[in-house]
Structure 1
Amino acid sequence: MEGLLLLVLIAGAFALGQLWRRTTRLEAEIARLHDRLIRLDPGPIPAAAPHEPRAVPAPPRASPPTDRSAAIGPPQPEPAAPRFTAPNLEDLIGGRLLIWVGAAALVVAAFFLVRYSIESGLIGPAARALIAAIFAALLIAASEAARRLPAFSGDQRVAQALAGAGVASAYGTLYLAAAVYALIGALPAFALMLVVTGIGLALALRHGPPTAVMALAGGFLAPLVAGFDAAGIAPLLVYLGLFIAALFALAGHRRWPWLAVAATAAGFAWTGFLIAAVDGGSVAAVGAFVILLAVAATLALPTTDRFGWLRLAPLTLGLIQLLALAPVLDFGALAWSFYLTIAAASLVLGWKDARLLLAAPIALALFLLLLGFAFASGPTSATIVAAVVGAALFGGTGMALSRRDRVWAALAALGAAGPLLVANLAAPALASPGGWFLLALIPLAALIGLTHRHRDRLGSGDSGLIGGTAFAALLAIVATGQLLPPLWIALPIVAAMALLIAWARRLSDPDLARLSLLALVVAITIALPGLADVANTMFVSLGGEALTYRYLEEPARLLAALAAPSALAIAWMLADRFAFGAFRRQAIWLAGAAAIACCYVALKLPLAIDTAPEFIARGFAERAFITQAFLAGGWLLLRRDAAWAGRALMAIGLLRIIWFDLLFLSPLAVPQAVGTLPLANLAVIHLAAAAVWFASLAATRDRRIAMALTLAAALALVRQATHGSILTGPVSTAENWGYSAILLLLAVAWLWRGIAATSSDLRRGGLGLLVLVTLKIVVIDAARLDGFLRIASFLGLGIALIGIHWLYNRFLRPLSRTFTPTDNDPPPGRAPA
């Protein structure tokens, strides 16, 4: 009962809020009118004598013109307008809140009295109902007395509170007498319900919104007092239906949209509670009540534009509740009949009122969702029949009204193809491949007819033309794909993509051109399991996992589904800029990602490294080939003016070199064969080839990356020459001197090339590398030598430095004093950034 009291208090607080807003508006309006009166006539208004009529002043006589400033005198300050003072807490509690808390207490006291009499057995059922009826009548009579007595005439809240409490008590009494104790039959109960409803309507019309709020709260909470299932669900639903109907009538007559909204919300709260609380035998009645409530509430809610969006809520709530009801009824014929009935009502209401048009696609979307659940849980004959009836209902209605609005055209396309696609996806074993092919021909013909009907709307983005074509292509892929082996699934996808692109190109319709992306999306959807394996393989490889091939479950299936569509999409985009229309960028992203995944799998498929010895023998070779594929693809795309895609592939290749070859799977730490030849080995060729790819590009950052890769290739040359095919092991003296020699030669080469090509990057790189080599020789190399070798080393270093000094004075100093037109130097007259 504490919860009941809380709900009653909430209802009272709602009524209090309504009164507070109304009083605030009236007081603000009075203050504004008072301010205007003072501005128009600042002088005092003389009061007339009680029994003497006020004298009418004579019209003023004309006077000679005088100085207006002298006549008027100095300006008088305008009196300040009275400031509106909000009611304080004491006024709010004592003047408004207490009266409604008292009314709620009366209702709760009546409920407690009835319950106490029931539990203690003091009086019989008839006496209990009679006492409750007398209490309700006394409350209503007291409200009328409070309205008429002079002592209460100044405060209408007393009469309102008593009237609301009386109406709530009368509804509770009627429920006890008819539903719980069966003291009166169905026909007398119905008649008395009409009487109570009429009394509540009359009192609400007489006393205003507070009485209606109390009646609403009491009427909905009354069944909870005696137990909602005391007399069964059917009498409870009849009671709720009549009560909600009365509230709708009152809301429409008094133009109270809030009352209709509150009644709708309370009604759906009851149905949601009953769906969760009652058993399967009583749920059927609840489902029928949900349909009636959804339709009635949609018709009862206000039709103004201000509340137009709110009218979709009852239908949506009804569809959702029936969606939750279907599993309780085991997706049987009754569950599907309920849902299809409210779906048909949504179609009719959308046809009659354009503001309710969105209810139809909402119903279709939830129908397809429910259909997927039903087929996944085990297809039954009722579910199959529902799929056919739903396709005819949504698709047929949409076809008939497709030219009326785009929503109907979209409904026709999705309604015709959706049920078959959902059934094929959720229960593929339901029919044979040939059976699925034949079933797909029926909606395919309907979609072709829809597209033909809208053929005159090219370039308008018409849903019938675009949607019909899209779902026709999708059904064609599904229908033909049923007859092909899994490894040939790409054939219908490629054919559909080519036909869509060619047709859009012929009609020059950019909206149709976007549809070619659909075939690529279908290919990616089919290949999603394989793509998930590729993503997992790449993820574990980032952590240093060497044997990654084992994470690819079915690489051949991935290539069969995705290689041809992605290659066709890329080739067509490079050949024709009209391909894919406004979705060209999205197509590049999808096709590029699919192509990368296919290339990755194709490069790992031949070697299929799955053991440690295989990784030592061929792991570096496989990784180098994959990296070079990325670099080559990026270089080709940059040459074809696909800058962002080419840059992405080049960046992936460079990151692979840094992440794998230099850090986590470096051949210096993890044994991997790179080849026995001093120069023609994979370590040197791999890094040198990467340097060539970047050096051939024009950007300054690419040339700098190429210099870094060249340096890495030179160091790999020395390492391989001193260690052989396996690069692990300590650094020997010969290797240490080899590093110094190769770095010195590389520094001289960069300096020479920088002079010849007037490249400041090469010159600065050569000088910087020369300084590092010098420090290395002095600090590290010479410290390990003694005698003649130390003398020879310093002698050679001195000669080399003198020669470089001469080169710098001869060539580099003049270049450093003049501007060289390189893209990393600032132009004349501008300071470096």
Structure 2
Amino acid sequence: MAFTLLLVLGVAAAFFVVLRRLAVVEQELRRVESLVARIEQRESRFVAPSEPLVAASREEDVPPPAPEQFAQPAARIVTARARPAQPAKASPAPTRTSPARPAIQLEALIGGSLPIWIGGAALVLAGFFLVRYSIESGLLGPTVRTLLAALFGLVLIAASEGARRLPATAEDPRVAQVLAGAGVASLYGTLYMAAALYHLIAPLTAFVAVVLVTAAAMGLALRHGPPTAAMALIGGFVAPLVAGFDTAGVGPLLVYLGLFTAALFGLAIHRGWGWLALAASIAGFAWINYLIAALDGRGGDLSAVGGFTMLLAACASAALPATGMHNRWLRLAPLVAGFVQLLALAPALEFGALAWSFYLVLAAAALFLSWRQSLYLPAALAALGFLLAFEALALIQGERSATPLAAAGATLLFAVPGHGLAGRGRGWATLALGGSAGPLLIACAFAPSLLAPAAWGALALAAAAACAYLAWRLRRDSDAPVLTAASLATGLLVTVGLAQFLPDGWLSLPLTLVLLGLADWARAVRAPALFELPALPWIAAMVAGAESLFGLATMVGAALGGDRLPLLGIPPLTGLFRDLALPTAALLAILLDPRQLGRARRLVGSLAIAVGILLLHALAKQLLAIATLPRFVELGFVERALLTQVCLASGWYLLRTRRLPSLAAFLFGLGLVRFVWFDLLLLNPVLEPQAVGPFPLLNAAVLHAALTAFWLWTLPRAPAWRTAGALATIVAALALVRQATHGSLLAGPVGTLENTGYSAALLGVALFWLWRGITAGVYDLRIAGLALLTLVTFKVFLLDAAALDGVLRILSFLALGVALIGISWAYGRFLARPAAAIGEGDAP
């Protein structure tokens, strides 16, 4: 009872808002009519000479009933017409006082409009509650109650006709409108009680009676206007609530609601009342949600509610445009609301055949409306999206009887018209793509056990052919997102199809084929968006081979932490090259085309290069197979130096030839990082015993540092490269002395002879740099030579001399002094030459 009262109050409030707007519109229309009549009356008086006109106008200065903002402009127009020859005189602008129009409107609403409409609603509710009271009290039998309710409705309708003719009420048409609307609502409620509650009349008779009442309601609405229709709408939808909606069951109630809604749609179409059709649709969906909430908690059957939802959504979508409604979103709203409602009903219907039939029929209606008028195409696209969600939910819930057949039907329902009408625009092409690929992919993902792998593969390849054909048809529209989506869907379906015919773990093979195919397709079509697609199969391959990729990453982390035997952490090569090598090699091959990967080229290309280097590193580790510590001491430095030099030489060649600058910088930078991190810091052979070779000069330590210095010195001129080359040269000189004094194993203390050898070697390097800088005119080389010479001088005075005694100390200082004097003399002569003779690049 409380819910019914709340609902009635809500409806009354909504009705109050509608009536308020109608009253405002009606009042404005009356004012405009009064204004037009007044202007016409004044113009008719100014057809005589000007003086009488002026006098007449002065005599009739009484303000008219219309508002002053309308009367004053009319008076100015009349005066101008009466005195055309008089010059304009400056006069102060008249002050305008606007009346308080909101107060007048509120007064008219409260005092005139609101009581009469509340009175009409009260009449309807009085009749309903009188019948309900008689039921609860047992005063009257069902037949008498029904007859009294019918008589009450007829009396109200007769009273409306009387009010239309009586002189006292004929001037105010709202009296007749209220009475007619209340009478129609009462008759609808009476028929519901007679057929559904008491079963006094047969269903066929009830149907005929509803048709007659509907015809009468339409006639009265045509006669009395929108207010009568609004009263009929409210009364017809509220009547089952007042009488008890679940007394006779859901079926008769839905039949009643369906017939009543259809009558309202017919009336709205006939009169062009879009508001009536929209209000009937909203009320119908409100009843659907109310029934779902009421019946679901009681375990009731909601299949009839699903059927009513389907019919309401389809009929409302067809009725709204027929009423002249032009707002596209309001015209699409019933279809979308119907799909959402059916999706909410699906769990209660156990995703069975009945639920699927409702959904497919409504989707077919959306497609039909879209075929007739492109305005409905967004609703068809929404239908496809909801259908895919419906299928996924059904398969997750384990429904396997109706869902596979429904998915096949959905594929044909969307794909066939989509492909047939793809030439109309991108919307139909999207439907073709979604219908061809969507249901199949969802079924394969959520229910792979439905079919054998070979059957899945055949279906996927057939769907791929359909998507490829669509992409071929759209190839000239290079900016179309559907072209990109069709190309991607083709690749996905080919991958799924081929994977069904391959053993487990070989997903990388179809992904590689798809990657190459997408790259070739992008080159053929030359659509910018297509060039980015090959990155997706490669990323998918990396995700599929995540275990192998994680193994490589673990191996790299252990090596960076100082692991001497990283070979033991490398995953099996079979899995590595099966999962990662094929797609990575394909991606690196297509990178030769600078258009490939588009905006993702830098990021994805760098990742692919990193994975490729890791794979080559894992393969190179197999050559020497350093799996024990003694073998690490024997070959660890040699293996590491070879790998570093391969990176440096490859990067140096690419930098010198200016090919693949990103790859070149990556390789050369990797080589330098390896040289510094492993050979100078972490696994330095001076600290960690490792054999470098027994031959002076021709050993791994000296050659490794010398080659590194060579690569750096011979790169294009840049201060950073020259600085790094100078440091590598010093390392090579130190390695030369260390190996000459210690042999193949460089570990051990520093002796006097070795310390002196360091000074001599560094002094030789400094003198060479000075000589080369002077003869070639290279300023930074001369500066490096002078800096190194200064450091050697300090070393000799502070370190070497302290370790010598007697004649050796004297000879050491004598040789150093002579050498420094000679260097200073030669360098002074160089600086004394003219600036032009110094050579290019001398000036700092």
Query: What TM bracket, shorter-length normalisation?
Result: 0.5 to 0.7
Q: Structure 1 residues 567, 194: closer, same or farther in 2, change over 3 A?
A: same
Per-residue deviation, residues 143-195 of structure 1 (Å, max 9, x unmatched): 66666667667766666555555544443443333323333332332233334
- Quote the Cα distance in structure 2 between the aligned partners of 1:167 and 1:472: 60
- Counterpart residue identity of residue 242, structure 1: L
Match of 1:12 in 2: 15
Counting only pairs closer than 5 Å after superposition, residues 51-66 of structure 1 correspond to structure 2 as: none
Match of 1:585 in 2: 599
1:237 is paired with a residue whose SS is helix
Match of 1:317 in 2: 337
Match of 2:403 in 1: 383
Match of 2:820 in 1: none
**1:228 counterpart = 2:231:** no
Match of 1:95 in 2: 110
Counting only pairs closer than 5 Å after superposition, residues 480-491 of structure 1 correspond to structure 2 as: 480-491=498-509
Q: Structure 1 residues 503, 121: closer, same or farther in 2, change over 3 A?
A: closer
The question of whether the paired residues in 1 share the 8 Å contact of 2:128 and 2:242 is answered with: no
Match of 2:512 in 1: 494
**1:184 counterpart = 2:201:** yes
Per-residue deviation, residues 512-550 of structure 1 (Å, max 9, x unmatched): x855654542443354365599799999x99x9999999
- Counterpart residue identity of residue 259, structure 1: L
Per-residue deviation, residues 779-813 of structure 1 (Å, max 9, x unmatched): xx9xxxxxxxxxxxxxxxxxxxxxxx99999999x
Counting only pairs closer than 5 Å after superposition, residues 446-525 of structure 1 correspond to structure 2 as: 446=466, 454=473, 458=476, 471-502=489-520, 505=523, 508-511=524-527, 515=530, 517-518=532-533, 520-525=535-540
- Quote the Cα distance in structure 2 between the aligned partners of 1:30 and 1:688: 105
1:485 is paired with a residue whose SS is coil
Match of 1:338 in 2: 358
Cα distance, 1:310 vs. partner? 3.3
- Quote the Cα distance in structure 2 between the aligned partners of 1:273 and 1:61: 71
The question of whether the paired residues in 1 share the 8 Å contact of 2:430 and 2:482 is answered with: yes
Cα distance, 1:15 vs. partner? 0.4
**1:121 counterpart = 2:139:** no
The question of whether the paired residues in 2 share the 8 Å contact of 1:410 and 1:464 is answered with: yes
2:346 is paired with a residue whose SS is helix
Instruction: Select between 633-642 and 270-279 the one with higher mean Cα deviation.
Output: 633-642
- Counterpart residue identity of residue 246, structure 2: D
The question of whether the paired residues in 1 share the 8 Å contact of 2:335 and 2:379 is answered with: yes
- Counterpart residue identity of residue 429, structure 1: S
State the identity %: 40
Equivalent of 1:286 in 305, 310, 314: 305
Equivalent of 1:266 in 283, 291, 316: 283
Counting only pairs closer than 5 Å after superposition, residues 200-599 of structure 1 correspond to structure 2 as: 200-275=217-292, 277-278=294-295, 282-302=301-321, 306-378=326-398, 380-444=400-464, 446=466, 454=473, 458=476, 471-502=489-520, 505=523, 508-511=524-527, 515=530, 517-518=532-533, 520-525=535-540, 527-528=542-543, 560-574=578-592, 576-577=593-594, 580=596, 584-586=598-600, 589-593=603-607, 596=610
The question of whether the paired residues in 2 share the 8 Å contact of 1:288 and 1:338 is answered with: yes
The question of whether the paired residues in 2 share the 8 Å contact of 1:295 and 1:314 is answered with: yes
Per-residue deviation, residues 398-447 of structure 1 (Å, max 9, x unmatched): 33334444433443344234333332222223333323233345445555
The question of whether the paired residues in 2 share the 8 Å contact of 1:15 and 1:209 is answered with: no
- Counterpart residue identity of residue 314, structure 1: P
- Quote the Cα distance in structure 2 between the aligned partners of 1:432 and 1:138: 72
- Counterpart residue identity of residue 18, structure 1: R
Q: Structure 1 residues 418, 77: closer, same or farther in 2, change over 3 A?
A: same
1:385 is paired with a residue whose SS is helix
- Quote the Cα distance in structure 1 between the aligned partners of 2:720 and 2:661: 15
- Quote the Cα distance in structure 2 between the aligned partners of 1:766 and 1:38: 112
Per-residue deviation, residues 296-342 of structure 1 (Å, max 9, x unmatched): 11111126683234333322222333333333333322222222222
2:326 is paired with a residue whose SS is helix
- Quote the Cα distance in structure 1 between the aligned partners of 2:690 and 2:130: 94
- Quote the Cα distance in structure 2 between the aligned partners of 1:637 and 1:92: 89
- Counterpart residue identity of residue 312, structure 2: L
The question of whether the paired residues in 2 share the 8 Å contact of 1:628 and 1:653 is answered with: no
- Quote the Cα distance in structure 1 between the aligned partners of 2:98 and 2:768: 89
Per-residue deviation, residues 458-517 of structure 1 (Å, max 9, x unmatched): 466689987766555443332222122234322223233334444554xx4224x85565
Instruction: Compare CA radii of gyration and give the structure with the larger one.
Output: 2
Q: Structure 1 residues 391, 61: closer, same or farther in 2, change over 3 A?
A: closer
Cα distance, 1:202 vs. partner? 4.0
The question of whether the paired residues in 2 share the 8 Å contact of 1:494 and 1:565 is answered with: yes
The question of whether the paired residues in 2 share the 8 Å contact of 1:161 and 1:211 is answered with: yes
- Counterpart residue identity of residue 293, structure 1: L
Per-residue deviation, residues 270-313 of structure 1 (Å, max 9, x unmatched): 33443454357732222222221122111111266832343333
Any gaps of 5 or more consecutive residues in structure 1? 50-58, 64-70, 718-745, 770-780, 782-804, 815-819, 826-833
Q: Structure 1 residues 431, 683: closer, same or farther in 2, change over 3 A?
A: farther
Cα distance, 1:237 vs. partner? 1.2
- Quote the Cα distance in structure 2 between the aligned partners of 1:701 and 1:100: 94
Instruction: Select between 643-652 and 105-114 the one with higher mean Cα deviation.
Output: 643-652
The question of whether the paired residues in 2 share the 8 Å contact of 1:630 and 1:650 is answered with: yes
- Counterpart residue identity of residue 494, structure 2: A
Equivalent of 1:22 in 9, 22, 25: 25
1:380 is paired with a residue whose SS is coil
1:306 is paired with a residue whose SS is coil
1:72 is paired with a residue whose SS is coil
The question of whether the paired residues in 2 share the 8 Å contact of 1:634 and 1:646 is answered with: yes
- Counterpart residue identity of residue 202, structure 2: G
- Counterpart residue identity of residue 521, structure 1: L
**1:74 counterpart = 2:94:** no
Q: Structure 1 residues 351, 61: closer, same or farther in 2, change over 3 A?
A: closer
Q: Structure 1 residues 60, 176: closer, same or farther in 2, change over 3 A?
A: closer
TM-score (norm 2): 0.66
The question of whether the paired residues in 2 share the 8 Å contact of 1:264 and 1:314 is answered with: yes
- Quote the Cα distance in structure 1 between the aligned partners of 2:705 and 2:235: 83
Per-residue deviation, residues 198-240 of structure 1 (Å, max 9, x unmatched): 4443444445444444443443333333443322111121122
Instruction: Select between 752-761 and 191-200 the one with higher mean Cα deviation.
Output: 752-761
- Quote the Cα distance in structure 2 between the aligned partners of 1:392 and 1:471: 17
CA RMSD of aligned residues (A): 7.2
- Counterpart residue identity of residue 481, structure 1: A
Q: Structure 1 residues 418, 120: closer, same or farther in 2, change over 3 A?
A: closer
- Counterpart residue identity of residue 25, structure 2: R
The question of whether the paired residues in 2 share the 8 Å contact of 1:633 and 1:649 is answered with: no
